[in-house]
Amino acid sequence: MKSRDTLLRLKRFQVDEKRRRVSQIEMMIADFHRMATDLDREIQSEESRAGISDPAHFAYPTYAKAALGRRDNLRQSADNLKGQLDEAKAELQEAFEDMKKVEILDDREKATERAAEAARDQAMMDSIGLRPRA
C-alpha cells in the first residue's frame, strides 16, 4: 500500500514538473514575441526620425540596424523554443498517461480491498446470525 502511494505521488510530481516546464517555455516565447514587437516599434520610430526606411541605404540609422538584428534573433529563438515546447507537451502527455494508469490501478486495488473487507464483514455477520440463541 505504501509503495503504491509513493509511486502515485512520484507520478503526480512528474506531471507537475512537466507542466511547469511547458508553462516556462510558453512564457519565454510570449516574452520574446513581446520584445520583438517592442523592437519593431523602436525601429519604425528610428526610421521615421531619420526619414530612411531601407536597411541597405548607407545612411540607415545604426540603432535601427542593431535593433533589426536583435529582433530577428528574438524571433529565431522563439521559433526554436516552439520545437522544445512541442517536445515538452509530448512529455507532459506521456507523464499524464502514466499517472492515470497508476491511478486506475490504485482505484482497482482499493476496490478489491473494499470488496474483500465487505465479504469478511458479511461472513462475520452471517456467523453471528447462525448462532443459537440462549
Mean pLDDT across the chain, nearest whole number?
A: 91
The three three-digit cell numbers of residue 110, written as one number:
482499493
The confidence score (pLDDT) of residue 80 equals: 95
Q: Find how far residue 4's CA is from the centre of its chain.
A: 24
b/e sequence 73-102, b meaning 16+ C-beta within 10 Å: ebeeebeebeeebeebbebbeebbeebeeb
CATH topology for the 1-130 domain? Helix Hairpins (1.10.287)
Kind plus residue range of the DSSP H or E element containing 97: helix 62-130
Q: Is the pLDDT of residue 24 over 90?
A: yes
The pLDDT of residue 134 is above 80: no
Give how far the C-alpha of residue 45 lies from the chain's centroid of Cα atoms, to the nearest Å: 38
Q: pTM score, two decimals?
A: 0.74
With CA atoms as reference, report the closest residue to 17 among 95, 74, 80.
Answer: 95
Using CA atoms, how far apart are residues 38 and 117, in angstroms rounded to an integer?
A: 66
Task: Render the burial of 7-35: b for 16+ CB within 10 Å, e for the rest.
Answer: eeeebeebbeebeebbeebeeebeebeeb
pLDDT of 49 reads: 93
Task: Determine the Cα–Cα distance for residues 128 and 119; give it in Å rounded to an integer.
Answer: 14
